[in-house]
Amino acid sequence: MLETQGISLILTKKCNASCRHCGFNSGPGSSETMTEEEAKYYIGSARNLVSLKMVSFTGGEPFLYYPLVYEAMSFARALGLTSEIVSNSFWAFQLCRSPW
Ligand code: SF4
């Protein structure tokens, strides 16, 4: 029997990039974003699946909404789930350009 071990939440369709190959049609002009309450509702509902082990947060670019990512990940952890974030890592590029 096939068991669901993970779910993916598209936290936002907004992205700071506009890739032609984007499967979600995300980009700077998109604004659809989950609320914290919606994210917690979906995670909490999925947690009823005994086999669920992890949540993947994706978009769009989730790190454009850091407080939302933080709260959603904290909620998942409190429920005993591991999580990951799919990011285009724009923040790493900004850190590399930092003078320190
Ligand atoms: S979500 Fe990914 S593929 Fe889509 S526009 Fe952003 S960086 Fe590009």
- Residue-wise pLDDT tens digits, 39-52: 999 999 999 998 99
Atom of ligand 1 at shortest range from CA of 25 = 4
CATH number at residue 11: 3.20.20.70
pLDDT tens by residue, 79-91 = 999 999 999 999 8
Report yes or no on 48 lying in a domain: yes
Q: What is the whole-number distance in angstroms between the Cα of residue 90 and the centre of ligand 1?
A: 11
The pLDDT of residue 70 is above 90:
yes
Angle at alpha carbon of residue 31, lines to 26 and 36, rounded to 5°: 105
**14 belongs to a structural domain:** yes
With vertex at residue 88, the alpha carbon angle to CA 85 and CA 94, rounded to the nearest 5 degrees, is 110
Tell me, yes or no, whether 91 lies in a domain: yes
Q: What is the pLDDT of residues 54-67, one digit of tens each?
A: 999 999 999 999 99
* Residue 1 located in a structural domain: no
Task: Quote the ligand 1 centre to 14 CA distance (angstroms).
Answer: 9
Q: How many A from CA of 11 to the centre of ligand 1?
A: 13
Domain-located, residue 25: yes
pLDDT band at 100 (very low <50, low <70, confident <90, very high): low
Report which protein residue has its CA nearest ligand 1's atom 3.
Answer: 22
Q: How many domains does the chain have?
A: 1
> Shortest CA distance to 10 belongs to which of 44, 33, 31?
33
State the residue range of the domain holding 77.
Answer: 6-96
Q: Is residue 15 part of a domain?
A: yes
Identify whether 10 is part of a domain.
Answer: yes
